[in-house]
Structure 1
């Protein structure tokens, strides 16, 4: 409780600073005068295809974005390592500043299946409201047009993760035009392959380590606002790992009439094995699965309790009569590791189903990690559990001798993963940021951890600066799916939030 009390005092002190209030009001007025220009500029940025594997177009994005910030006084570079899209790096120093903030955004997007989209994924299309709420296509606004904050702009990366770029540009323009200086040195770190796994990010951080050694705070601009629709500041993300599990029956498909009740069915074996891993309430039964998890702090528990209640609404929205562990709070469940069944495969269903006992059945298992969990150690626990159920584990397809020697065989293929990150909510280096953001959003929610995963651990390894996440996208943005969108009111909130960040004490 002492940490929360100290944090509260710092927040009150910072939030009272008039320069932040002036900056936020300036950004609001500038946005009201230039809203149409912001939306049209964003639509142009979204027209650039940004799949990380599309090397020519991802570089077009990098060069275009770098140019936008160069025009605004940033010293820009495209950092290079072999086999990767460029890492966009920029620096703008503030006279007399004693703190350096690094702002992370990723400019690549998920691959697209254009046939699944209502409009072309790179043809930014404006709607009068969400499609699901009956919105209709409207033209992009002209200068002087009044803009409704519930309008939605549809395109790949409209929310994940190009939205912070026009919001940050607008905040900078507003402050520069008003002659309001930054209070911190600002570094830009824009990743070009986050959606492809950020496989080269650690190479960038080590090759160009000198550019990141003086950072005092990492601000990650990704993810959605709270499910209540209110703004949030997030202090961590879960890690991720997983495996693919295959169990076996006969070495060929067998007629289920001739051999059913005699030849073991791999589908039954697999479902029985999976059922030993979780109980009916959703609690993982694997020995020591929760043991390595970092304790939940008093500050984190208080933040969860203070957040708006959304669980009942989410259950209604998702058609659930109950959620796991006797309706435990979503915020609490984000702070323990999760074992997820991603998919099952054994023969066919529907019209393709046949009277056959198939040779094998496969499950894809995902593990979401919390702070303290080592990815490989967690998979070791899963494997130990499978062995305890009597299975002989192999890494390749079993040969004939193995099949006839062991009644129960499980082939396990591990996936790469990475650990979770969770910053201390009571860290005094974060308190000024919280206070500044409360000027832009009095109802700001402090969230200990997102449920999703980001490769923040690479930054934790390369820097001792705290890491926090400032999401601006609407939570119903169709992230990673067709018809991804951004609500304009969320984009506009981002402008004010960034103005507060750039001028915080």
Structure 2
């Protein structure tokens, strides 16, 4: 615990503050509402070094979704942090599932309820590919690849450059919004500011594993989650231009692995080349049949179920900045799929991506053999209207049209001899896309509050390109769901050297201060 939190100054417990403020006059309560953004901003400006130190403390906890011990340590840490702020928090549990960190704050007089979702788990890491340890939380004066230099954490009172970067797993995805929320609650408690909405905090521990238990959790606690007017998903990056954005949906996701077969064992390429079928070549031909050279998916029916966007979404799309050319330069790309359509327009369509290929070896391990198999991992991103299983059915139908016999397990000798082309298809789980209308009254209030906090043009995105299980909240709980990203777009999400730009942490604190005190 920091010296600041150990201080002997008298503070009002947060829950008590809520009750006291309920009996104050309306003008006093509105004054507190209006001060939420200013209070949050003033707090992080006065205590910036402490805010970074506490963020580093959270990042130091390994949080790979498959590590049950590490995940539980993170969950316990967050419960302790919330209770230290006099917020009643608990762990929701299911057998064999990471716990949900849950807190509920009822505000006397509030007429709406906001639920704030984030996830405290992170992607797996290969430490050998990181400049520093994934949980060392190293601070740099800027992005590593742009010449940033390592430096120590700032001392209290030292000027903090918003361009500094903190490198650690989950710095951007998704511990930053959790850390920002904790600081906002701390600032509110010290200043006597009360939220204007009832609040539910819902921090998941297996989002990076596909949220396999999320539906069960929501169904088991449906009564406690009833009456939520809007779910705010605190996840994802801001726009590639660096401008803040709010997204009103997210793509769904599914996928499959395809393995094609040659001989029952690897063969000497000299003795059998030009005679034995080559699985790598067979797979390459199959994959090439799925898309044309412009990136259009050629699978029959792939785009047929797309649900078109409405007038408000079309207007928001037209207002987005033209950033594709700059993004191409940043990424070293001379062309893009679907041109001249923009990235934002392409995100409104389902996509088919080769995520990985495997057949034999390359580099120093290359051998003069014909491998016995070749495997491709395919990812399918979904938009509103697409059903995950139906989309995989279309992919399988295309594989059959190319002359392949599909199996679910390793083929036996009889199957091999009966079919010239064999493909083992292994389906992944998945979930559909979701979208919330932009013209809902609660959504308009959220937009107004976010614009006030951002201090610059706020971009309104019909949907994120990435995937979140928003459909469970829009369909199962019948609530609006809005994605509120705060991380920098170049945060190396899911990759080595993940990072967060310090200015984006400051933005998150300001934004949450505004959202939690927006007018009724």
Q: 1:382 aligns with which of 349, 373, 395?
A: 395
Task: Tell me the CA shift for residue 352 of structure 1.
Answer: 3.4
What is aligned with 1:24?
Answer: 37
Distance in 2 between residues matched to 1:344 and 1:173, nearest whole Å = 48
Superposed CA offset, 1:443-483 (max 9, x none): 11111111111222222333111101111111111112222
Task: Tell me the CA shift for residue 285 of structure 1.
Answer: 0.7
More displaced 10-residue stretch of structure 1: 372-381 or 350-359: 350-359
Distance in 2 between residues matched to 1:494 and 1:160, nearest whole Å = 13
Task: Tell me the CA shift for residue 19 of structure 1.
Answer: 6.7
Kept in 2, the 8 Å contact 1:256–1:355? The answer is yes
What is aligned with 1:282?
Answer: 295
Kept in 2, the 8 Å contact 1:46–1:157? The answer is yes
What is aligned with 1:214?
Answer: 227
Distance in 2 between residues matched to 1:410 and 1:67, nearest whole Å = 51
Q: 2:479 aligns with which of 448, 453, 465?
A: 465
What is aligned with 2:506?
Answer: 492
Tell me, what secondary structure is at the counterpart of 2:427?
Answer: strand
Kept in 1, the 8 Å contact 2:292–2:298? The answer is yes
Distance in 2 between residues matched to 1:263 and 1:188, nearest whole Å = 59
Task: Tell me the CA shift for residue 343 of structure 1.
Answer: 1.7
Tell me, what secondary structure is at the counterpart of 2:95?
Answer: coil
Distance in 2 between residues matched to 1:19 and 1:332, nearest whole Å = 41
Q: 2:56 aligns with which of 43, 53, 59?
A: 43
Task: Tell me the CA shift for residue 488 of structure 1.
Answer: 1.0
Kept in 1, the 8 Å contact 2:32–2:194? The answer is no
Task: Tell me the CA shift for residue 20 of structure 1.
Answer: 5.9
Task: Tell me the CA shift for residue 431 of structure 1.
Answer: 0.7
Task: Tell me the CA shift for residue 150 of structure 1.
Answer: 1.0
Q: Does 1:173 align with 2:186?
A: yes
What is aligned with 1:311?
Answer: 324
State the 4+ residue runs in structure 1 displaced beyond 4 angstroms: 17-21
Distance in 2 between residues matched to 1:182 and 1:39, nearest whole Å = 24
Distance in 2 between residues matched to 1:165 and 1:405, nearest whole Å = 57
Task: Tell me the CA shift for residue 367 of structure 1.
Answer: 0.7
Unaligned 5+ segments in structure 1 are: 1-16
What is aligned with 1:423?
Answer: 436
Q: Does 1:504 align with 2:518?
A: yes
Superposed, 1:113-128 pairs within 5 Å as 113-128=126-141
What is aligned with 1:227?
Answer: 240
Unaligned 5+ segments in structure 2 are: 1-29
Superposed CA offset, 1:100-120 (max 9, x none): 000001111122222322222
What is aligned with 1:55?
Answer: 68
Distance in 2 between residues matched to 1:260 and 1:118, nearest whole Å = 43
What is aligned with 2:256?
Answer: 243
Tell me, what secondary structure is at the counterpart of 1:163?
Answer: helix
Superposed CA offset, 1:393-418 (max 9, x none): 11122222222222222211111111
Kept in 2, the 8 Å contact 1:20–1:439? The answer is no
Distance in 1 between residues matched to 2:248 and 2:365, nearest whole Å = 47
Cα 1:111–1:357 shift into 2, 3 Å:
closer
Q: Please provide the CA RMSD for this pair.
A: 1.8
Q: Does 1:392 align with 2:390?
A: no
Tell me, what secondary structure is at the counterpart of 2:429?
Answer: strand
Distance in 2 between residues matched to 1:321 and 1:66, nearest whole Å = 48
Task: Tell me the CA shift for residue 202 of structure 1.
Answer: 1.6
Superposed CA offset, 1:59-97 (max 9, x none): 222122112222334221111111122101101111200
What is aligned with 2:489?
Answer: 475
Superposed, 1:295-334 pairs within 5 Å as 295-334=308-347
What is aligned with 1:451?
Answer: 465
Superposed CA offset, 1:266-306 (max 9, x none): 22222112111111111011111011111122222222221
Distance in 2 between residues matched to 1:373 and 1:129, nearest whole Å = 41
Tell me the TM-score normalised to structure 1 length.
0.93
Task: Tell me the CA shift for residue 495 of structure 1.
Answer: 0.8
What is aligned with 1:407?
Answer: 420
Distance in 2 between residues matched to 1:315 and 1:406, nearest whole Å = 44
Superposed CA offset, 1:224-265 (max 9, x none): 111001111111111111111122223333343444333332
Kept in 1, the 8 Å contact 2:473–2:480? The answer is no
Q: 2:111 aligns with which of 98, 103, 112?
A: 98
Kept in 2, the 8 Å contact 1:240–1:369? The answer is yes
Task: Tell me the CA shift for residue 358 of structure 1.
Answer: 2.8
Kept in 1, the 8 Å contact 2:33–2:193? The answer is no
Count of residues paired in the alignment: 489
Tell me the TM-score normalised to structure 2 length.
0.90
Distance in 1 between residues matched to 2:62 and 2:277, nearest whole Å = 50
Cα 1:147–1:31 shift into 2, 3 Å:
same
Q: Does 1:349 align with 2:362?
A: yes
Task: Tell me the CA shift for residue 372 of structure 1.
Answer: 1.1
Cα 1:71–1:259 shift into 2, 3 Å:
closer
Q: 1:76 aligns with which of 84, 89, 104?
A: 89
